[in-house]
Every structure is written in structure tokens, then in C-alpha cells.
Amino acid sequence: MTLRAILLSLIMAVAFAGAALARCADYVPQPKPQNASRDIVGADLDTIVERGYIEFAAYEDFAPWSYEEGGKIKGVDIEIGRLIAEDLGVEPRFRLVAAGENLQADLRNWVWKGPIVGGRVANVMLHIPYDSEFACRVEQVVFTGRYHEEEVAIAFRRDAYPDDPPVPAYFRFDTVAVENDSIADFYLSALAGGQLRANIRRFPTTQDAMQALANAEVKAAMGPRAQLEFGLTDELDIHTPPLPGFAVGKWVSGVAVHMAYRALGYAVDDAIYSAMQDGRMEEIFTRYGLTHVVPKYR
């Protein structure tokens, strides 16, 4: 399952939930394990500073956030990791990891426990979608360092829509590219009783969807704004229309840290906040051709 599908499972649960209860009112904490292992998982801030490096986990094949190109790891999240390391005065080390079955599995594998076979936890995991209801159900993790608010958008060919940008209803007649099993795919497939399905063109990644748009194979593409912006050309444009029937078209990305290392979480949050205040965060997004949106609530 891709990261996009994991994000979908998190957001859709909020977007289409029934009557809301107070935050985590229905959550029953699990029994604490007895006779637990004394093995130390991860590292505290003092250990990281003393040894001189910090380890980050980031999702693989997730441009423009984290990906490998020409044998080098790059992306917005990678640059954010570097500024965190610089603020702490240590060397950044990165590990690109595959997305698991769900977000809980990723946090278990790369933040607080470690995978069953191969690999180990990182000190910080980058690009974690934040939701307060989800956060209070994962007691082993601190969700902090929120640095960007993302939203679903539509990219389109200017020659196909010279007057008005397309809205989802247009795709009853016009072709639209999406990443397979993504937020946009599920949303458009269900909209208007499935009337749009015949015009949806599915691709392995949003990058592929944007390439199809650039090649004029489709008239539009739908997905997270940053991923669409990364594939824009002079012939393309982007906008964020109203999304009828979709309650959550925006979400916030941050980082995850093992709950035992609160001091590390505070230091990471301070580094990210400082970068947003002095313009370094904006510079990173600009270098990748992206629009940086500061989260309203940190």
C-alpha cells in the first residue's frame, strides 16, 4: 500500500465519520505490558548530540518530498531533515523506507519498536499526517514539528480550459488523471453516484499522472497540491476548487518521535519553528517550485 493510501485511510476516517464525540472519548487505553524488555529503542537527545548524528526515516519514491535521483536522496522532507540536524549541530543521516499497510504499522516499524525483519527505528520520521483523534490513539509516538498544510487540488491544461478552471463535475465529460488508490481516485470514483468513473485515468504515481497531463493525454489531474505543483509546465495551471461531499480536503504534515524522548521532540519542533520564522522553510519549498502553507495551529 502506498503512502497516499495510508493518508487516505487517515483522512477519510475523519471526513466521513458519523456524529463526533469529544476528542478520543471512545478510546480505551490498552493494558501496559508487564515484564517488558529493557532494550532501549531509539536514542535520546543527549546521545544524538554526543555521537554526532541523527537518523531520519522518510518515504521512498515520494517526490517532491523524499526520493532518490542520480544516486542521491533529495526532496523537501530531506532538506527539512538537514535543517533540523544543523540546528542540533549534528550530521543528518537518511533512510528511505517503504510505506506499510497503514500509518500505525509505519510508526511501529520506524519510530517506536522496529520491523520484524531487517532495519531499525529512526530518531525522527518525516512527513507524518497529523490528526488529533489519531494522535491520542497512538500512545507510543509524539506528533510534533508540524510544518506544512496540504490540500487537494486540480491541475489542468490551459488550452483545454481557457476561460474557467475545471471543477469535479466537469469530469463527467472530460478525462482526469489520478494516482491509483489515492484520495483523488476514491473521491472522484464515488462522486455523483459513480458518473465520473469512465473518465478517470489511473496511474502508478501522481508524477505519472502529471506527465500524462503534460503530454495532453488527459485534460486535468487531481491530487495533493504539492505533488501537482512539482509536475507543472508552462502549458499547465493549478487551482483548488470546492470539493462537494468531501469534508476534509486539507491536512497538516509534521514529524513523529518516540514518546520516551520528549526532549528530542521539543528540539525538533524548535528547529522547524525557527526555520519557518526566518524564511529557511519557505526557501526550501521555493527551490522545489512548491507553495508553502504554514499550519494555522501548531
Summarize pLDDT for 45-88 with one digit per residue, the tens.
999 999 999 999 999 999 999 999 999 999 999 999 999 999 99
Query: Parallel, antiparallel, or unpaired: how do β-strands 220-224 and 53-59 relate?
Result: unpaired
pLDDT band for position 44 (50/70/90)? very high
Domains and CATH numbers, the chain: 3-16+41-149+250-287 (3.40.190.10), 151-239 (3.40.190.10)
Residue 18 confidence (pLDDT) above 50: no
142 or 102: which leads in pLDDT: 142
pLDDT at 244: 85
Closest among 197, 177, 198 to 189, alpha carbons compared:
197
pLDDT at 10: 56
pLDDT at 297: 65
Residue 34 confidence (pLDDT) above 70: no
pLDDT in tens, 148-174: 999 999 999 999 999 999 999 999 999
Kindly calculate the radius of gyration of the chain based on its CA atoms and give it in whole angstroms.
20
Q: How far apart (Å, rounded) are the C-alpha atoms in residues 124 and 284?
A: 19
pLDDT band for position 4 (50/70/90)? low
216 or 297: which leads in pLDDT: 216
The pTM score is 0.88
Residue 129 is given by DSSP the state: E
Across all residues in the chain, what is the average pLDDT?
Answer: 89
pLDDT band for position 17 (50/70/90)? very low
Closest among 19, 4, 106 to 63, alpha carbons compared:
4
Residue ranges of alpha helices (H) inside 89-156 are 103-107, 132-135
Q: What is the mean pLDDT of residues 173-192?
A: 94
pLDDT at 187: 93
Q: What stretch of H or E contains 145?
A: strand 141-157
pLDDT band for position 184 (50/70/90)? very high
pLDDT in tens, 205-261: 999 999 999 999 999 999 999 999 999 999 999 999 989 887 677 899 999 999 999
147 or 29: which leads in pLDDT: 147
Which grid cell is 31?
493494558
Q: Which of helix, strand or coil describes residue 109?
A: helix
Q: Which of 8-12, 176-180, 182-186 has the lowest mean pLDDT?
A: 8-12
Would you give the distance in Å from CA 123 to the centre of its chain? 18
pLDDT band for position 30 (50/70/90)? low
273 or 135: which leads in pLDDT: 273
Query: Parallel, antiparallel, or unpaired: how do β-strands 220-224 and 141-157 relate?
Result: antiparallel
Q: Give the CA distances from residue 53 to residues 46, 80, 141, 236, in Å, rounded to whole numbers and listed in that order.
A: 11, 15, 21, 41
Q: How far apart (Å, rounded) are the C-alpha atoms in residues 117 and 110?
A: 12
- Phi and psi at 145, nearest 5°, equal 55, 40
pLDDT in tens, 97-138: 998 888 999 999 999 998 887 778 999 999 999 888 788 888
